[in-house]
Amino acid sequence: MAGTDPIHQFVISDIFTVFRMGGDGTEGSGLNFAFTNSALFMVATVVAVSAYMLLSSSQRSLVPNRLQMTSEMLYEFIANMLRSSAGSEGMRFFPFVFSLFIFILVGNLLGLVPYFFTFTSHIIVTFALAMLVILVVTIYGLMRHGLGFFKLFAPSGVPGYVLPIVIPIEIVSFLSRPISLSVRLFGNILAGHITLKVFTGFVVTMGAAGWLGWLGALLPLTMGVALTALEFLVAAVQAYVFAVLTSMYLNDAVHPSH
């Protein structure tokens, strides 16, 4: 069943162990710091992005060639998005937002290659990224505005008698941000990959039923092709959404009183 099992693609396997800590030597005891296939694809993503950025910006000509053009368009795209949602003050976070965007985008796209591992389909990875964003927002907001950061919970222009209702809602929405930010990316990628494998798994099971099965297998095969196209859209949209939400949260840190 391993060939058609839709969950099998998310299994994390150790490539080599860096070191072990604690435990009594038996399997599964203590901490095992291993270089996993997840880590391998994160490294591959970083290497691919760095190589692309270095290669495309190595010439730095006034009239850009095609490669330089693509990276400039990517830069402009994120820079415009960040400027429009967090203002020119928010632009100091541009390297942060751009790194997050391109890391998630390339990770998602790499994961769509057959037999490749998708590290964004693991909640711990997306949760770590989301917590990074929330900690940056909270720490920067407190450093920059001190206790004035808490004006975030009382939007300006709200009449005083509504505040007892609005403030708890704002606090709950602030606390649920890391969950919604991480689960959105994780859930989309996980659901997409499971759907893709379930539909293409039908091809295998129907193909085993003889020539009539092969004819019937055309339907799930077509669906698989269409779903792959949809997954490319989802991969790009989710990376964009993560970047948009990051810059909106950064806007709260830069201008807490809305």
| Residues at the interface with other proteins (CB under 8 A) | 81, 84, 180, 183-184, 187-188, 190-191, 237-238, 240-241, 244-245, 248
Least CB distance to other proteins at residue 191 (A): 6
With a CB cutoff of 8 Å and minimum separation 6, the contacts of 133 are 100, 178, 181, 246, 249
* Residue spans of beta strands (DSSP E) within the chain: 14-21, 31-36
User: How many other C-beta atoms can be found within 10 angstroms of the C-beta atom of residue 74?
Assistant: 17
Whole-angstrom distance, CA of residue 174 vs CA of residue 197? 35
Residue nearer to other proteins on the CB measure, 155 or 187: 187
* Residue spans of beta strands (DSSP E) within 66-124: none
Whole-angstrom distance, CA of residue 191 vs CA of residue 186? 8
Residue nearer to other proteins on the CB measure, 187 or 216: 187
What's the Cα-to-Cα distance from 18 to each of 35, 44, 60, 119, 231, rounded to whole Å? 7, 18, 40, 20, 34
Whole-angstrom distance, CA of residue 112 vs CA of residue 189? 10
Least CB distance to other proteins at residue 172 (A): 15
Residue nearer to other proteins on the CB measure, 56 or 246: 246
Residue nearer to other proteins on the CB measure, 206 or 227: 227
- In a 3-state reduction of DSSP, which class is residue 8? helix
Residue nearer to other proteins on the CB measure, 184 or 255: 184
Residue nearer to other proteins on the CB measure, 59 or 176: 176
DSSP 63: S
Least CB distance to other proteins at residue 10 (A): 11
Least CB distance to other proteins at residue 234 (A): 10
Whole-angstrom distance, CA of residue 133 vs CA of residue 139? 10
Least CB distance to other proteins at residue 108 (A): 14
Least CB distance to other proteins at residue 149 (A): 23
